[in-house]
């Protein structure tokens, strides 16, 4: 959806960066989750020092990340959230859902691209089916009749693809405006932008406008969720970091219910559920 | 009990199923009073909660209190608290542990209780359950809000305590509450000790109370 010329270039350079960083003898394995000593109790020093994906996050740039996080929160508080709240008040919910569906439908090339890279031809075929059904029967994607036919939404992105290929998330990274990410997922955004097919005849300003509508409409769907998260957390930064990393891991493992209806894959997470 | 083409993976599952069935039969022969399965616990708890939410003439406060009581009956809050604090649990004195459990419970009740006021006749569907490697069960449910990505997935991690299956973790949209709070509390306890965490919890709940009305 963004300008493509620079994308191609960025794609190359970011791939190199990802390769370099992910090939690095896995940063996430030995270093403790935060610069501060998390465990001052020597009694447990004997326990295996495996870093748990869901409980201890690798965040070596926390100082920097917190600054960006604060900045993003200000932007959200003063610009995005108020605009989204206005939109949420004005626009009827079906309209908001329709717009969300519309943009979700346009993600189809990205989903297909990544389904194929992850060797999931069936999911790829479903993505094609969804796109066809929703575009034709769903008034250009504003409705989602495909879900009723059993073709549930299943978003993939290149960060997930890298995860499926075995690339660890690496250090947690907060991107300006874009928010929570990781050294694996951030460059992958550029790959997805390149994979998003944008018809050449659509004017650039329309794309920008569409992007703005998409962002505001998406934010409007999460007004209460963000409010809740802020109320529930003692440290909002850590809350978001943990939630992001857990969610990404679940997406990579396709653990979500609509993806694995039988719920077969389990949380192989002995440590989390062992009472010390 | 379906079994599929015999790939090794499915064979293992079939074996596991067979063992599970055998255990079930043995279990049913044993003269144990009708014991609720993890799934039944979740089902009956959500039925009770929805029944309370359907009562229109309750005040917000009364409704929250009722729901809290019902939910807590099927939660093993001590295990949940221990899992949240993990190895830091032993840094808390017994009195502090009790205080933590109380404060943490109040905090959760205050933050999640607020959402009860927005109840719009959503229904709950239990969509599956499975046994975990360590003997726990996970019951998967969905809060139905119009289908597709609008639905909210909530999984309950269950463990048997004193013969009853109780919830020890809530996994909302694949995000474990225990893991999330553990992560937040780790840094706080590491830098400020148990006292700091207890103090922050109290402040947060107090702020929430003001916010509420």
Residue A68: per-residue pLDDT: 97
The range of the structural domain enclosing residue B196 comes to 9-207
Averaged pLDDT of chain B: 84
Quote the strand ranges of chain A, DSSP E: 172-175, 179-182
Instruction: Compute the distance between CA of residue A185 and CA of residue B156 in angstroms, rounded to an integer.
Output: 29
Residue B162 in domain: yes
Task: Give the C-alpha distances (Å, rounded to integers) separating A20 from A15, A16, B191.
Answer: 8, 6, 34
Token pair, residue B50, equals: 């929805």
- Report CB contact under 8 Å: A228, B115: yes
Given a cut of 70, whether residue B116 has pLDDT beyond it is yes
- Each residue's pLDDT tens digit, A117-126: 999 999 999 9
Neighbours of B132 (CB within 10 A): 17
Q: Return the residue matching tokens 């370099």.
A: A20
Residue B8: per-residue pLDDT: 54
Residue B186 in domain: yes
Token pair, residue A32, equals: 């403790």
- Report CB contact under 8 Å: A256, B153: yes
Q: Which of residues 56-85 of A touch B (CB under 8 A)?
A: 56-57
Calculate what percentage of chain B has a pLDDT beyond 70.
80
Higher pLDDT, residue B156 or A196: B156
Mean pLDDT along residues B9-32: 57
Given a cut of 90, whether residue B148 has pLDDT beyond it is no
Range in A31-45, A136-150, A170-184 the model is least confident about: A31-45
Residue A253 contacts B, CB cutoff 8 Å = no
Judging contacts by C-beta atoms under 8 Å, the chain A residues touching residue B127 are: 257, 261, 263
Given a cut of 60, whether residue A18 has pLDDT beyond it is no
Residue B206: per-residue pLDDT: 83
Asked if residues A138 and A146 have their Cβ atoms less than 8 Å apart, the reply is yes
Residue A275: per-residue pLDDT: 84
Given a cut of 70, whether residue A8 has pLDDT beyond it is no
- Report CB contact under 8 Å: A55, B142: no
The size of the A-B interface in CB pairs under 8 A is 144
Q: Give the confidence band of A70 by pLDDT, cuts at 50, 70, 90.
A: very high
Residue B146: per-residue pLDDT: 75
Residue B20: per-residue pLDDT: 62
Task: Give the C-alpha distances (Å, rounded to integers) separating A14 from A18, A68, A198, B49.
Answer: 6, 21, 21, 50
Given a cut of 60, whether residue B32 has pLDDT beyond it is no
Mean pLDDT along residues A75-87: 96
Helix (H, G, I), strand (E, B) or coil at B16: helix
Asked if residues A172 and A59 have their Cβ atoms less than 8 Å apart, the reply is yes
Instruction: Compute the distance between CA of residue B210 and CA of residue B176 in angstroms, rounded to an integer.
Output: 28
Q: Which of B130, B168, B179 sits opposite A263 (nearest CB)?
A: B130
Q: Give the confidence band of A163 by pLDDT, cuts at 50, 70, 90.
A: very high
Task: Give the C-alpha distances (Å, rounded to integers) separating A146 from A109, A115, A127, B151.
Answer: 16, 18, 10, 16
The reported pTM is: 0.77
Q: Which of A238, A268, A270 sits opposite B187 (nearest CB)?
A: A238
Residue B4 in domain: no
Instruction: Compute the distance between CA of residue A159 and CA of residue A157 in angstroms, rounded to an integer.
Output: 5
Given a cut of 50, whether residue A15 has pLDDT beyond it is no
Residue B85 in domain: yes
Judging contacts by C-beta atoms under 8 Å, the chain A residues touching residue B211 are: 231
Calculate what percentage of chain A has a pLDDT beyond 90.
58
Given a cut of 60, whether residue A212 has pLDDT beyond it is yes
What is the widest separation between alpha-carbon atoms in chain A?
66
Neighbours of A72 (CB within 10 A): 19
Q: Give the confidence band of A196 by pLDDT, cuts at 50, 70, 90.
A: confident
Angle at A55 between CA A52 and CA A56, to 5 degrees: 70
Given a cut of 50, whether residue A44 has pLDDT beyond it is no
Q: Give the confidence band of A137 by pLDDT, cuts at 50, 70, 90.
A: very high
Calculate what percentage of chain A has a pLDDT beyond 70.
75
Give the residue from A129, A172, A154, A187 showing the smallest Cα distance to A13: A187
ipTM: 0.78
Averaged pLDDT of chain A: 79
Residue B2 in domain: no
Higher pLDDT, residue A197 or A268: A197
- Each residue's pLDDT tens digit, B153-171: 899 999 999 999 999 999 9
Is B128 exposed, middle or buried (CB count within 10 Å of its CB: 0-12, 13-18, 19+)? middle
Quote the strand ranges of chain B, DSSP E: 123-131, 137-144, 152-161, 164-172, 175-176
Residue B161 in domain: yes
What is the SS3 assignment for A126-171? Answer: HHHHHHHHHHHCCCCCCCCHHHHCCCCCCCCCHHHHHHHCCCCCCC
Given a cut of 50, whether residue A42 has pLDDT beyond it is no
Q: Which of B175, B191, B208 sits opposite A246 (nearest CB)?
A: B175
Higher pLDDT, residue A181 or A16: A181
Q: Give the confidence band of B183 by pLDDT, cuts at 50, 70, 90.
A: very high
Given a cut of 70, whether residue A204 has pLDDT beyond it is yes
How many helices (H) and strands (E) chain A has is answered by: 13, 2
Angle at A115 between CA A109 and CA A121, to 5 degrees: 110
Q: Which of B111, B187, B200 sits opposite A231 (nearest CB)?
A: B111
Residue B75 in domain: yes
**What is chain A's Cα-based Rg?**
20
Mean pLDDT along residues A202-210: 87
Q: Give the confidence band of A203 by pLDDT, cuts at 50, 70, 90.
A: confident
Render the burial of B56-95: b for 16+ CB within 10 Å, e for the rest: eeeeeeebbebbbebbeebbbbbbbbbbbbbbbbebbeee
Residue B93: per-residue pLDDT: 96
Token pair, residue A213, equals: 């509508």
Residue B11: per-residue pLDDT: 59
DSSP label at A76?
I
Residue A29: per-residue pLDDT: 32
Given a cut of 60, whether residue A162 has pLDDT beyond it is yes
* Chain A closest-CA separation from residue B171 CA (Å): 10
Residue B213 in domain: no
> What's the CATH code of the domain at B191?
3.10.450.710
Residue A101: per-residue pLDDT: 93
For chain B, how many structural domains are there in total? Answer: 1
Mean pLDDT along residues A232-237: 93
Given a cut of 80, whether residue B139 has pLDDT beyond it is yes
């Amino acid at each position: 959806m963004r300008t493509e010329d620079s994308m191609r270039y960025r794609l190359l350079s970011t791939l190199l960066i990802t390769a370099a960083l992910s090939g690095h003898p896995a940063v996430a394995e030995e270093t403790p989750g935060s610069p501060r000593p998390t465990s001052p109790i020597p009694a447990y020093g004997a326990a295996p020092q495996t870093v748990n994906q869901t409980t201890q996050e690798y965040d070596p740039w926390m100082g920097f990340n917190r600054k960006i996080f604060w900045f993003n929160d200000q932007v959200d508080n003063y610009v995005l959230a108020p605009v989204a709240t206005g939109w949420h008040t004005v626009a009827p919910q079906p309209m908001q859902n329709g717009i969300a569906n519309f943009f979700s439908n346009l993600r189809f090339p990205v989903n297909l691209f990544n389904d194929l890279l992850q060797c999931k031809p069936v999911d790829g075929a479903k993505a094609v089916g969804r796109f066809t059904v929703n575009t034709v029967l769903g008034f250009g994607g504003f409705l989602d009749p495909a879900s009723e036919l059993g073709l549930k939404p299943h978003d993939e992105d290149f960060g997930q693809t890298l995860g499926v290929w075995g690339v660890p998330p690496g250090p947690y990274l907060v991107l300006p405006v874009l928010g929570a990410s990781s050294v694996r997922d951030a460059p992958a955004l550029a790959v997805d932008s390149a994979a998003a097919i944008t018809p050449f005849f659509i004017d650039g300003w329309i794309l920008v406008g569409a992007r703005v509508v998409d962002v505001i409409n998406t934010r409007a769907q999460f007004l209460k969720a963000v409010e809740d998260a802020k109320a529930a957390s003692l440290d909002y930064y850590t809350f978001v970091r943990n939630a992001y990393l857990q969610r990404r891991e679940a997406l990579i493992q396709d653990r979500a219910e609509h993806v694995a209806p039988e719920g077969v894959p389990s949380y192989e997470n002995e440590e989390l559920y062992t009472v010390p | 009990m379906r079994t599929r083409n015999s790939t090794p993976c499915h064979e293992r599952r079939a074996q596991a199923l067979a063992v599970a069935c055998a255990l079930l039969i043995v279990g049913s022969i044993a003269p144990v009073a009708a014991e609720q399965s993890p799934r039944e616990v979740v089902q009956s708890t959500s039925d009770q909660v929805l029944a309370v939410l359907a009562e229109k003439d309750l005040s917000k406060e009364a409704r929250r209190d009722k729901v809290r009581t019902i939910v807590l009956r099927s939660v093993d809050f001590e295990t949940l608290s221990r899992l949240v604090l993990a190895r830091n649990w032993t840094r808390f004195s017994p009195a502090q542990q009790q205080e933590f459990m109380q404060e943490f419970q109040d905090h959760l009740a205050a933050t999640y209780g607020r959402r009860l006021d927005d109840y719009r006749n959503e229904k709950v569907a239990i969509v599956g359950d499975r046994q975990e490697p360590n003997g726990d069960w996970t019951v998967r449910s969905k809060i139905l809000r119009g289908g597709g990505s609008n639905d909210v997935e909530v999984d309950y991690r269950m463990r048997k305590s004193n013969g009853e299956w109780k919830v020890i973790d809530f996994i909302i949209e694949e995000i474990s509450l225990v893991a999330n709070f553990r992560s937040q509390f780790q840094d706080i306890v590491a830098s400020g000790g148990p006292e700091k965490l207890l103090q922050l919890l109290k402040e947060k709940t107090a702020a929430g109370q003001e916010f509420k009305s």
